[in-house]
Amino acid sequence: MNDTLQLVADVTAQTQPDGGPINWWMLISIVEFAVIIILLLGRATKHEDKRSHIKQQVKSEGDIDFGNIVNSAFGAEALYKELIRKCHPDRFAPDADKVAVANDITERLGKHKNDIKKLNELKVEAINKLNINL
């Protein structure tokens, strides 16, 4: 116990070059702050690497159809709602084959909810296979 008290007394007796006492808590907080900054910077670069990888993947997939993106933004929701209402499997309850086709179409509708080009393809398929009026 005396050794510990002596050690504390020795540490607190140390002084800085200007003659003032060393503020150990301030030094510890500065080191902790530096460690936190380093960890945050490392994490930010990790996320940036992931974003750049995704950008490269999208660019390598080929041309982007901006017309489809714009048309989808304005027309996909209404077409989706109409198709999901007309192609719902419950509407074809007596016919098991049409129920299976309707299940498949509604599943694909959910996957392509925001892609008007795919929705139009599904609309044509629904008209042909389910004999519905759209």
Q: pLDDT tens digits for 83-124? A: 999 999 999 888 899 999 999 999 999 999 989 899 999 999
What is the residue type of 103? Answer: N
- Return the residue matching tokens 């999901």: 84
- Spatial neighbors of 78 by CB under 8 A, at least 6 apart, are none
b (16+ CB within 10 A) / e for 50-73: eeeeeeeeeeeeeeeeeeeeebbe
pLDDT class for 19, splitting at 50, 70, 90?
low
Q: Per the structure block, which two tokens stand in for 42?
A: 């490392």
Statement: residue 17 has pLDDT above 60: no
Is residue 82 within 8 Å of residue 121, measured between CB atoms? no
Q: 21-26: list long-range contacts, CB under 8 Å, 24+ apart.
A: none
